[in-house]
Each structure stands twice: as C-alpha cells, then as structure tokens.
Amino acid sequence: MQMTGAQIIIECLVEQGVDTVFGFPGGAVLPLYDALYQNQTRVRHILTSHEQGASHAADGYARSTGKVGVCIATSGPGATNLVTGIATAYMDSVPMVAITGNVTTQLLGKDSFQEVDITGITMPITKHNFIVKDVANLAKTLRKAFQIAQEGRPGPVLIDVPKDVTVHTADFVPEVPQKLVPRTERLSEQSMEVALALIKGAERPMCYVGGGVIRAKASEDLSQFLENIDSPACTSLMGCGAVNSYSPRFTGLVGMHGTKVSNMCVSSCDLLVVIGARFSDRVVSKASAFAKNAKIIHIDVDPAEIDKNIKTYCHVVGDLKVVLEELNKRIAKPMVHTTWMEQVAEYKKRYPLRVDSESERSKEILKALQAVLPPNFFIVTEVGQHQMWAAQFLKHVQPGHFLTSGGLGTMGYGTGAAIGAQVGNPESRVVNVAGDGSFRMNCNELATIARYHLPVVILLMNNHTLGMVRQWQTLFFDKHYSETTLDTDIDWVTLASAFGIKGMRIRKEDDPKPILQAALDLGKAVVIECEIPVDDKVYPMVAPGASIEDMLGVQEVGEY
C-alpha cells in the first residue's frame, strides 16, 4: 500500500506497540503532526512545554512501563533541545527512540533555516542514529531503531527525517515485530564454571547490584540467588528497587552516599559479585582500595563494561535473567555463611543510617511520605541532596518504581519523567521529590501536568540554595558560597496556582504527615513546598579520592 513517509512513521509506531508519544511540533515535522492528527485514536500525543520535557517524559515512560519511550521534535533548536534527555537515557540505559525532523534533503549541508547536524551531535550519546534520505528505507530504519533500543543493553536511538521524506510516498508492507530473544550466545561455559567455583569457595560473599537487574526483569532470580549463596546485597542508585529494601539481606546504597554498612561489606568481603552494574566513580571512589580483599565477578549484558574501570577476576557476559537462572540451577545446595552474616548484622547495629546534620527534617518529611503512600507508587526525583535522601530514606520495594537520573545527574529531569510515568501508569500515584534548584529548571512542565489533568504530586524540598553544591563548598571550599544562594523569593504555591494546580505548604513547625495525606487524598496534581534547613547535609559521604570505608558523617550508635 502506498503511503507518505509521515503515514509510514505512524504505522511503524503502531506496529511496534507504541500508543503514546511525547513531543513539540514545528515546521520540519508538520507532515508528521498532520498524520498524528489523523490517527489520534491510535497514537496519543502528549504536548510538553519544551522538547527537553518531552525527552524526559519519554524516559520516565520507558523506565516505568518497560516499553520504548518515543519523543518527537522539529529540526534545529527543537532537535538540540532533546540532547540532554537523550544523554540522560544513554547514561542510564533507557530504551528510547527520538524522531527529529530536518530540512529537505536538497537543503542539507547549506546552513539552511533551522538546520543542524543532529546525527553528528548525538553520535556519542546514542546506541545508534540514522538519517533517512529515501522514504523507501524509512520503515526498515524505524524497525531497526526499535530493535537496537531494546536489545542487549538498552539505550536511545535517534532517527532524523528530512521534511521531504515525510511527504514522499513508498509502498508499506506491515510486519510482525521480531520478538527480542535474550542474548545468550556469549554465555561462556568456562566463565560460568570459574564463577561457580569462586562462589562455592567464598566465605564472605557480597553482591553489588545495579539497574541492569531491573532492565532484565531479573529481581526474583536475584532474590533466589542471594538465598542460594547466603549473601548480603547493596545497590547502586540505579539499582534501587532491584532488592527489596525490607529484605534482611539488603544493606543499602553503596559508594559516595551509600551506607557505612554497604561500604564496609564491600571492603571486607572475599568475593564481590557485581550484577548489572558498572564501576562508576561515585561507587568506587579510590579504585586501588575498592574491594581490596575480594576477587570480583562481573555479570553484565554489555561486554564493553568488562574491565573498563576495575579489573575483575572473572566475568560472565549475557542476559542477566538467563545467567542468574543458570547459576541458580547449578547451585545444588544452598550455602550457609553464618559468621559472615552475623558480621553484617553487627555492622547494621554499629552504623545506623542517620542524618548527621543541623536537623533531621529531610528524613522526617520522607518518612512521613512513605507512611501515606498508597500501594504501587512511583517515586521520581530531580538531582541534588533531595535525590540522595529519597534513595536513602524511602523504602524501595518494586523494581522500576524509583526513577532518577543517575549517570548524567540531570537537574530538571524529574518533572518530565513524572509526566511520563503518570501517563504510562494512570492508576498509580507518582510523586516527584524535587529541590528548589532543580525544579526551577523545568517547572514550565506544570502546564503539561495541568493540560492533561495528571495527578502528579511534586514534593518540593526548599532550602533556598543549590544544596549539594553548597555542601561541597562547606566541606571543601572554606564555605565560599559562590553563586549557590537562591535568594529570589519565589512563591511556589502561587506559581502552582498560576498553572491551575493546587499548592500547599509544609512549614518548619508543621507535622508533615497529615498535610501529605491531604495532598494525596485530593487525587489530582499538587505542589507541596516543604521548608528545610539550608545546612542539612547528605551523610554519610565519601570525600573525593578517599576509600569508600572512610566516610564523613557516620554515627556509631542506635538501631539500624
């Protein structure tokens, strides 16, 4: 059947199971938006306030649903406005397809109005990108893009489509999407045998778990593996939810703002099994001292991560679910490490997670939020102190329900991502834990929340400063607070009202729990401004270049 390029894009989206896209129109994508207009019942379009918001919304949609997130932008500034969101998805391995318009093929390379080489710009931050100059190649390119975005280690793919390609016609033949098969071709029997021998010979095993476990839908297999080898487990920021926070085996985050318990376990273990995680500098800190008493097994779907930052003793490359299933099958008898688990329990008693700071207000607010949240909730964060507090103090019980920018650390991520999560999960409550510094970057997306009547709750922790930067200035720059004080008094409640959204306040003397409960009971969008002290800090903390067991702000009293 003959179709225009714009119609082919719609048909391919539907073919791939896409029912929602996020974007912002412009001249180069007008034919595509006309096709969207004619197919409103098949593909829902969410109009954001800014293309960056669309990219973050596609990201949040993908993380919270497990589907591919799709965003659309016009040429030039529309396309470049997607770049930060694409890079965010790339760093955190999020499946995304970004479709950009461009000038007509005959105008490419001539510095035409709103022309930019978006494929060149995004080459380092995409798994792959394409520019389609012939409408006959459009369908197969779109299908390939969705395959690449999802297979192996997920990530973003960009397709740049010149305007004339969207109006030219070609024959379109529908296809059934290829079912993704877990990549097991690299599963080495020798590596499996070495890994099993190390596991069976260990006396103090420890597992370090990352977001790869969530992407592979392997949390249940991981839980069984931890039982089989009798091991505690810590997570990276991206791994929050891969291990149930209520599990007695869970020791918390690891690394710069991890728990002292996790960092001590990594430093004390004789075998570190790293599953679906990379050795980020925020986890490792001083590389020569990381897991210094342990042999390291690295299990990952991406061979490029093996031995990239830390030299490992053994590695197994393959789909994490398949690898964990196979390891569980081969462990005939569950192991017992009584002495080691008793040592871990002692660490928990000795090093409780506390806020060694001016106050515990941030912890108090988040604990109150935890108490009133309904089942099946999603937590989204911006980037800063509030992000670390949310990771530390909230209980993460479901994989894929904690959405944050871990690798790129994108301030302004949360509001767009919350929109995507709410659109993808209309029956769930979505809470964006934000700081005043991050929130002002993309607060324009309140218009999107209002437009689509999305019941997103924004918990705005307001300390009138760029808190994480101020913390570093306090600790390492002699309290020179250069350009971190946000002394412009913004009335956030009034701002929310200007968008048609309910605004509420939690003052420093207020009990946060009833206010948070009242906000959730409204069943609609709310911005809740919470005053917190300017010098509340994120502790514990590993200073730059220090060993992860050498932490600031640790208290050795109380219960874990």
3-state SS class at 329: helix
CB 243 within 8 A of CB 223: yes
| C-beta separation of 232 from 200 below 8 A | no
Residue linked to tokens 């779907």: 301
Q: What is the H or E stretch that residue 218 is in?
A: none
Instruction: Give the span between the Cα atoms of 416 and 433, in whole angstroms.
Output: 12
- Kindly name the residue from 22, 52, 163, 264 that is annotated as catalytic: 163
The yes-or-no answer on residue 321 being catalytic is: no
Query: What distances in angstroms separate CA 10 from CA 32, 59, 146, 174, 483, one per listed residue?
Result: 8, 20, 14, 12, 47
Q: How many CB atoms lie within 10 A of CB 171?
A: 11
Side by side, the strands of the sheet bearing 314-317 are: 250-253, 233-235, 205-209, 271-275, 295-300, 314-317
Q: Which residues pair with 546 in a beta bridge?
A: none
Q: Of 15, 67, 114, 367, which one is the catalytic site residue?
A: 114
468 annotated active-site: yes
Q: Are 273 and 199 in contact (CB under 8 A)?
A: yes
* Catalytic, out of 38, 113, 123, 292: 113
Q: How far is CA 41 from the centre of its chain?
A: 30
Tokens of residue 119, six digits: 């494929």
- Is-catalytic flag, 189? no
Report the interhelical angle of 83-91 vs 51-65 (nearest 10°): 30
SS3 call for 96 = strand
User: Would residue 51 show up in a list of annotated catalytic residues for this protein?
Assistant: yes
- Choose, from 51, 115, 529, 531, the residue flagged as catalytic: 51
Answer whether the bond into residue 374 is a cis peptide, omega within 30°.
no
CB 414 within 8 A of CB 382: yes
C-alpha to C-alpha distance for 433 and 460, rounded to whole angstroms: 6
Mutual angle of helices 385-393 and 361-372, in 10-degree steps: 50
Dihedral, CA of residue 79, residue 84, residue 87 and residue 91, to nearest 10:
-160
Question: Residue 393 CB: number of other CB atoms within 10 A?
Answer: 19
- Reply yes or no on whether 113 is catalytic: yes
DSSP run (H or E) holding 211 = helix 211-215
- Choose, from 3, 238, 468, 551, the residue flagged as catalytic: 468
What CA–CA distance (Å, rounded) separates 13 from 475? 50
Q: Which residues participate in catalysis according to the annotation?
A: 51, 113-114, 163, 468
